[in-house]
Structure 1
Amino acid sequence: MKRVVVGLSGGVDSSVAAYLLKEQGYEVIGLFMKNWHDDSVTISNECPWLEDSNDALLVAQKLGIPFQTVDLSEHYKEKIVDYMFSEYEKGRTPNPDVLCNREIKFDVFMKIALSLGADYVATGHYCRKGEIEIDGKPMYQLLAGIDGNKDQSYFLCQLSQDQLAKALFPIGELTKPEVREIAAKMELVTAEKKDSQGLCFIGKVRLPEFLQQQLQPKEGLIYEVSAQNELYQENQINFDSVEEKLKYEASNIHYTPDVAKLVGKHQGAHYYTIGQRKGLNVGGTKEPLFIIATDIETNAIYTGQGHNHPGLFKKALFVANDEVHWIRPDLCLKSGETLKVKARIRYRQELQQATLHQFDNGMYVEFEQPQSAITEGQFVSWHIGEELIGSGVIS
C-alpha cells in the first residue's frame, strides 16, 4: 500500500480526491495547511480558515483517515506575501496562486508529507499527469483536466519533474458536476460548498486593503489617452533582425502627460494593474476606462476608453532567461531555435496560437493575434496539444 498525503483544503475537490484515493487502495492521510493568521484583511465570514479546517476534519472523519493541521504561515508570508508586495511595488502584478503551488504545496508541504513517509502528495486540481519514456527514463507530463471549463493546469505551470513525479491529481478525469455528485453520494459535508475565490488558502482577501497595509497610499493623477492618438499609427519600420522586430512588438509604449488629458486622481499607481477597469472612480466617459499603463516613477496611471482600445494590445511578450521554466526539459529550446505552440497569459483564457523564439538573453512569445492586457509579473504558459510544457514570468 502506497501512502498518499492529501492537501485537504475544506473544499469539495480535495474531499473527493481523498475519497477516490482511498477507493483505489492507497493509505491516505489528510493534511490541512494553515497559511494565514491575520483576519483583519479577510472578509470575515467568507471562508475563514477555521471553517475550512473544520470541514476538512469532518471529511477526514467521514472517510476514516488520519488528519492533522500544519501551520505554514511563516513560509507563506516569506515566500508569497512578501514577494507579492515587492512585485506590486515595482509596478508588476504577481500571480500568488501559481507561486503557492510551486513554493508551498509542492515544496514546503511536499517535504512535510515525505517526512511522514508519503510516497505521493495529492491535491484537488483539475489536471492530469502523464508519463512517457525519454532515453529510457520516465518523463512526467502535465495534462489539461478533462473538464475544459475547470482545467487548472495553468496554476501548476511552474512545477518541476521532481515535483510532478511525486504528485497525484485524482479528480483530473472528472467534471465538476461529477465531483459534486460523488461528494453528495458519500454525504460529505463539502458536497454543496461554494468554491473559494480568494488568495489560495487565505480565504477571500480585499486586495486593496491588503496591499495598503504595506504599500503606502500616494496620491497621483489619472490620464486618458485617445484611441486616435498618433502613438498608435502603424509606421512601416524596417528591422535588421527578427529579434529586433520582436523586441519592438513586446516593448511598452512610453506615455507622458502631454499626450493625454487629465481625468482624475488615484491613491497609488502600485495598486493598479494593466487591463483593470474597476476601482478608478472616473465617470462621464462614453465607454468604460481601462488601464493601459502605470508609471511607478511618476505615480501616473494612463487609461483608454473601451476594451478595444489600441493601448491594450501587444503582439509579443518577453521572458528573461532566468524566468523561463520547462516542465519538459527535453523540449527546451537552444538560442536561435523556435517552436510553434499554443499559449495563454492568464487563467481561463482560450489557448492562443503562438511561436516561441529563444535568444541568448531570453525568450519572446509571439502571438498570431494581438493580445489584450499582457501584464508584467504574470505567467505565460505554453502548450502542445493538451500538454502544458513550460511557462515563464512576463517581463
Structure 2
Amino acid sequence: MKRVVVGLSGGVDSSVAAYLLQEQGYEVIGLFMKNWHDDSVTISNECPWLEDSNDALLVAEKLGIPFQTVDLSEEYKEKIVDYMFKEYEQGRTPNPDVLCNREIKFDVFLKIALSLGADYVATGHYCRKGTLEKDGKEIYQLLAGKDGNKDQSYFLCQLSQDQLSKALFPIGELTKPQVREIAAKLDLITAEKKDSQGLCFIGKVRLPEFLQQQLQPKEGIIIEVPEEASIFNQEVPNFSSEEDTFAYESRNRDYSNEIGKTVGKHQGAHYFTKGQRKGLNVGGTKEGLYVIETDVEKNIIYTGQGANHPGLFKKALFIKNNEIHWIREDLALQPNEKKEVMARIRYRQPLQKATLHQFENGMYVVFEEPQSAITEGQFVAWHHDDEVLGSGVIS
C-alpha cells in the first residue's frame, strides 16, 4: 500500500481528494498546514484558520484517517510574506498562490510528508497529472482540470519534474458540482462550505492593511492620462532585429506629470497594481478609472478612463533567463528558437495565442492580440492543448 499525505485545508476539495485516495487503496494521512498567526489583518469571520483546522480534523475523523497540524508559519513568512513585501515595495505585483505551491506545499510540506514515509503528497487542486515516456525516461505532465470553470493548473505552473513526480491530484477528473455531491453523500462537514478566497491558506486578508504593516503610507498624486495623449500615437521606429522590436513592444511607457491632470491623492503607489479599478476613490469621471502605471520612485499613479484605454494594452512581455521555468524541460527553447503556444497572464484569463521567442538574455512572449494590464511580478504560463509547458515571471 502506497502512503499519501493529503494537505487537508478544511475545504471540500481536499476532503474529497482524501476520500478518493482511500477508495483507490492508498494509506492516507491528513495534514493541516498552519501558515499564519496574525489575526489582526484577516477579516475576522472569513475563514479563520482555527475553524478550517477544526473542519479538517472532523473530515479526517469521518474518513478514519490519522490527522495532525503542522505549523509552517515561519517558512511561510520567510518565503511568501517577506517576498510579497519586497515585490510590492519595488512596484511589482507578486502572486502568492503560485509561490505557495512551489515553495510551501510542494517543498516544505512535501519534505515533511516524505519524512513520514509518504510516497506522494496530494492536494485538492483542479488539475491532472500525465506521464509519457521519452528516450526511455519518464516525463510528468501538468494538465488542466476537466472542469474548465475551475481549472487551477495556472497556480501550479512553477512546479518541477521532481515535484510533479511526487504529486497526486485526485479531483482533477471531476467538476466542482460532482465534488460537492460526493461530499454530501458522505455527509462531510465541508460539503456546503464556501470556497476560501484570499491568500493561500491565510484566509481573506485586507491587503492594504496587510501591506501597511511593512510599507509605510506616503501621500502622492493620481494623474489621469487622456486616451488621445500623444504618447499613445507615436510613430513606431524601424528596428533592425526582431529582438529590438519586441523590446519596444514590451516596454513600459514613459509617463510624466505634464501628460495629464491631477485628479486625486493616494496613500502609496506601492499599494496599487496595473489594471486596478477599486480603491482609487476618484469620482466624477464618465467611465471608471483604471491604473495604467505606477511609479514607486516618484510615488505617482497614472490612470485612464475605461477598460479600453490604450495605456492598459501591450503586445509583448519579457522574462529574464533566471525566471524562465519549463515544467517540460525536454521542450525548453534554445537561443534564437521560437514556439507557438497558448498563454495566459492571470488565473481564469482565457488562453491567448502567443509565440515564445528565446534570445541570449531572456525570452519574449509576443501575443497575437494586445493584452490588458500585463503586470510585472505576475506569472505568464504557456500551454499546448491542455498541458502547461512552463511559465515565467513578467519582468
Q: Above 0.5 in TM-score?
A: yes
2:109 corresponds to 1:131: no
1:11 and 2:7 equivalent? no
SS at match of 2:303: strand
Q: Quote the RMSD (CA, aligned, Å).
A: 0.5
With the length of structure 1 as denominator, give the TM-score of the two structures.
1.00
Aligned to 1:100: 100
Inter-partner Cα distance in structure 2 for 1:188 and 1:266? 46
**Which residue in the other structure is 1:235 paired with?**
235
Note the C-alpha offset of 1:334: 0.3
Q: 1:61 — aligned with what?
A: 61
The residue number in structure 2 matching 1:179 is 179
Deviation string, structure 1 residues 157-211 (Cα, Å, up to 9, x no partner):
0000000000000000000000000000000000000000010100110000000
Distance in 2 between residues matched to 1:241 and 1:217, nearest whole Å: 43
Residue deviations 1:96-139 (CA, integer Å, cap 9, x gap): 00000000000000000000000000000000000001110100
Q: Secondary structure at the match of 2:374?
A: coil
Q: 1:234 deviation in Å?
A: 4.9
1:274 maps to 274
Q: Partners of 1:297 and 1:5 in 2: how far apart? A: 46
> Could you say which residue in structure 2 is the equivalent of 1:75?
75
Partner of 1:380: 380
For residues 202 and 236 of structure 1, do their structure 2 counterparts lie closer, same or farther at Cα, with a shift above 3 Å needed? closer
Number of equivalent positions: 395
Runs of 4+ residues deviating >4 angstroms: none
**Alpha-carbon distance between aligned partners in 2 of 1:326 and 1:236, rounded to the nearest angstrom:** 33
Using the TM superposition, give the Cα deviation of residue 238 of structure 1 relative to its aligned residue in structure 2, in angstroms. Answer: 1.1
Q: Counterparts of 1:66 and 1:176 in 2: how far apart (Å)?
A: 26
TM-score (norm 2): 1.00
CA distance in 2, matches of 1:230, 1:86: 34
Residues of 2 paired with 1:276 and 1:203: CA distance? 21
Partner Cα distance (1:285, 1:189) in 2: 47
Task: Output one character per residue of 1:43-62: Cα deviation in whole Å (capped at 9) or x when no partner.
Answer: 01110000000000000000
More displaced 10-residue stretch of structure 1: 132-141 or 232-241: 232-241
- Separation in structure 1 between the aligned mates of residue 198 and residue 264 of structure 2, nearest angstrom: 30
Aligned residue number for residue 258 of structure 2: 258
Task: Give SS of 1:99's match.
Answer: helix
Counterpart residue number, 2:225? 225
Counterpart of 1:201 in structure 2: which amino acid? F
Please give the alpha-carbon distance, in whole angstroms, between the structure 2 residues aligned to 1:290 and 1:118: 48
Q: What is the CA–CA distance in structure 1 between the aligned matches of 2:236 and 2:267, rounded to whole Å?
A: 39
Describe the superposition over 1:334-357 as per-residue Cα deviations: whole angstroms up to 9, x where unpaired.
000000000000000000000000
Asked whether 1:190 is paired with 2:197, we answer no
Aligned partner of 2:314 in structure 1 is: 314
Distance 1:297 1:169 in 2: 43
Q: Which amino acid aligns with 2:61?
A: Q
Tell me the SS of whatever aligns to 1:238: coil
Unaligned runs of 5+ in 2: none
1:235 Cα deviation from its structure 2 partner = 1.4
Secondary structure class of the residue paired with 1:243: helix
Aligned to 2:111: 111
- Rounded to whole Å, the distance in 1 between the matches of 2:304 and 2:236 is 24
Rounded to whole Å, the distance in 1 between the matches of 2:229 and 2:129 is 48
Using the TM superposition, give the Cα deviation of residue 236 of structure 1 relative to its aligned residue in structure 2, in angstroms: 3.9
> Partners of 1:236 and 1:390 in 2: how far apart?
31
Match of 2:26 in 1: 26
1:36 corresponds in structure 2 to 36
**Is 2:311 the partner of 1:348?**
no
Deviations 1:13-70 (A, max 9, x none): 0000000000000000000000000000000111000000000000000000000000
Q: Identical aligned pairs, as a percentage? A: 79
Distance 1:215 1:172, change over 3 A: same
